[in-house]
Structure 1
Amino acid sequence: MKNYIAISGSIFAIVAFAHLIRIIDGWEVVVNGQAVPMTISYLAFVATGLLAVWAFRAK
């Protein structure tokens, strides 16, 4: 179970870092011809960051 929590926490941390880089650099993401608002990355950064912290604290 500890391996699962560590791997999950690492994946969430990587995704949070990717969203942070998008926020800092202002990368534009287009899905099916529609631009994804930066607000999505703010929310995703907070959510995945909290999940990563939660996983590492549970370990």
Structure 2
Amino acid sequence: MTSKQFPINKNLFSSLIKTTIFSPIFIVIIFVSLFIFTSEMALAEEAINEVSSPFKNW
């Protein structure tokens, strides 16, 4: 990559980031992925509690 190409690519990249961050679809995708992640974590925590509960009774 030459030094002349770099500013153009940087501007393209920054504009792409701006449009991506402010697009509602991207925000919805982020919220959905966060929701899935938190529900997965809760399920994993429940499973761990179920597995370790017999050992707690000792």
TM-score where L is the length of structure 2: 0.45
Q: Which has the higher strand share?
A: 1
TM-score where L is the length of structure 1: 0.44
Q: Which has the higher helix share?
A: 2
